C-alpha cells in the first residue's frame, strides 16, 4: 500500500513540475499577445519619457521570474493555476464516478 502511495506522490510531483514549466512558457506569451491586442505594448514604466524603452516580452518574462524568486503569491498563482484547474477537473471526475 505504501509503495502505491509513494508512486502516486512521485507521479503527482512530476505532473506538477511539468505543468508549471509548460505554463511558465505559455502563459506569459498569451498574456503578452492578448495585452498587445487589447491594451498596447507591454511596458515596464509607461510614465517614463522613453515609452516602452525597456518593455516587451523579455521584460515580462524577467518580471515574472523575479516575482517567482521573491515568492510573490500572484506570480505563483499565475504559474500554478493550470495545475489547480487540472486538479479540480480530476476531482470532479472522481466524485462523479462514485
Task: Report the 10 Å Cβ neighbour count for 79.
Answer: 21
Query: Could you tell me how many residues make up the chain?
Result: 98
**All 3 cell numbers of residue 79?**
504559474
Would you state the pLDDT for residue 47?
62
Residue 52 near residue 41 (C-beta atoms within 8 A)? yes
Instruction: Give residue-wise pLDDT tens across range 2-36.
Output: 666 666 888 889 999 999 999 989 998 898 888 87
Residue 75 near residue 67 (C-beta atoms within 8 A)? yes
- Start-to-end CA span in the chain (Å): 21
Cα 19–Cα 25–Cα 31 angle in degrees, nearest 5: 110
Would you state the pLDDT for residue 45?
59
pTM over 0.85: no
Instruction: Give residue-wise pLDDT tens across range 66-87.
Output: 999 999 999 999 999 999 999 9
Ordered by start, the domain boundaries in the chain are: 15-97
Classify residue 70 by its DSSP letter: T
Amino acid at each position: 500500500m505504501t509503495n502505491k502511495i509513494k508512486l502516486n506522490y512521485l507521479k503527482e510531483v512530476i505532473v506538477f513540475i511539468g505543468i508549471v514549466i509548460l505554463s511558465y512558457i505559455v502563459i506569459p506569451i498569451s498574456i503578452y499577445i492578448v495585452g498587445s491586442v487589447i491594451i498596447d505594448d507591454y511596458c515596464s514604466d509607461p510614465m517614463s519619457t522613453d515609452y516602452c524603452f525597456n518593455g516587451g516580452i523579455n521584460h515580462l518574462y524577467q518580471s515574472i521570474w523575479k516575482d517567482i524568486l521573491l515568492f510573490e503569491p500572484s506570480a505563483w498563482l499565475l504559474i500554478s493555476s493550470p495545475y489547480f484547474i487540472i486538479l479540480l477537473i480530476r476531482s470532479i471526475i472522481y466524485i462523479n464516478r462514485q
